[in-house]
Amino acid sequence: MVGTTVGIVSESLPGERRVAMTPGALSVLKKSNVELLMESGAGVAAGMPDAEYAEKGVRLASREDVFASSEVILQVRSLGANLQAGRADLAHLRRGQAVIGFGEPLTSIDAARDLAERGVSFLSMELMPRITRAQSMDALSSMATIAGYKAALIAANSLPRMFPMLMTAAGTVAPARVLVLGAGVAGLQAIATARRLGAVVSGYDIRAAVREQIESIGARFVVLDLGEASAEDKGGYAKAMSEDFYRRQREAMANVLAEQNVVITTAAVPGKRAPILVTREMVRRMPPGSVIIDIAAERGGNCELTRPGEVVEEHGVQIYGPVNLPSTIPYHASQMYARNIATFLKYLIKDGNFTLNQEDEIVRETLVTHAGEVVHARVREAMGLASLETVS
């Protein structure tokens, strides 16, 4: 007997090639007593044809039928992370239905309000708490891994010199010097990839505690004496610092940047604009031909000159503002995300039934809307609403 019907739909954001569930991740749900329904063609852009899903027992249907027949909808980009095209799906959602995906709830306030008005229970993958029990559900870290890797490749492809040191008959080629700002998951992956490509790599983070992680993968830790205590919040994410702190950081960092061929910036704070780490004046001190890859472009950018989705040139330095980097490697990005979301879904299904126990930390921290209300404390605060007791 089937307990819960789960639907997967094609992503409607232009350029989004990922899919929320992959054939390989279905094994996680094998014993969860669910029926899977998928919009035909949803996995094609990620390199996963319908036949592979059908072989795993997934039933194919139209987009309308998936919404109409599913109790739970799985997406990569839900309404808040797909504000224009995603609005077309609002009419298909019904009271009591659940949606799981990325939704940028701390900034997409109107989307949270709209989902609440539809009576939808929305669970945001961005808000997954960084606790041991939820580690296998941490989709932000999975996507950051992809972004850090791809950022290093873009840098290597764009730089007018090679990354590794080479000893040739024509002489010795000096290695490229790469600096990665921010040593979260994306930053560490960028460091590791640049190292594998042969560059001389340095890393910096306001959290001095990550020095060991940076050095463990072969990079030099840049030390700036800025009083870096308490740069991490209780959820394990970097927190916003004062503008005076960022000003002192920029002043100290200027001399370091002047020695680099590549700078990869990854500093982001959930729900906040990305801090400016690299100013126009700092860019002008970098050697002509240098490259900046600003992974934080979607949050406004860590470089003062960054334009999301564009390449800007200043004083011979190219500043890249890539957006949605995980979608440029859709096969493995989908594979990783699907494993995260499948593990989360399995956690929420008890005896075949989809259950939201708001006493549970994982549920409480990811549940944004439920029973007609915005229930997440941080989202309510961002909306200027009073605190709300748990909605049953």
- Residues serving a catalytic function are 130, 135, 138, 141, 237
Cα distance between residue 4 and residue 72, in whole Å: 8
Cα distance between residue 312 and residue 330, in whole Å: 26
| CB 368, CB 385: distance < 8 Å | no
18 in helix, strand or coil? coil
Cα distance between residue 354 and residue 146, in whole Å: 30
283 has which bridge partners? none
| Sequential DSSP letters for 294-360 | EGGGGGT-SBTT--TT-EEEETTEEEE----GGGGSHHHHHHHHHHHHHHHHHHHEETTEE---TTS
Pair of tokens at residue 317:
């330095």
Cα distance between residue 74 and residue 101, in whole Å: 6
313 has which bridge partners? 318
| CB 320, CB 293: distance < 8 Å | yes
The backbone torsions φ and ψ at residue 19, rounded to the nearest 5 degrees and listed phi first, read -135, 150
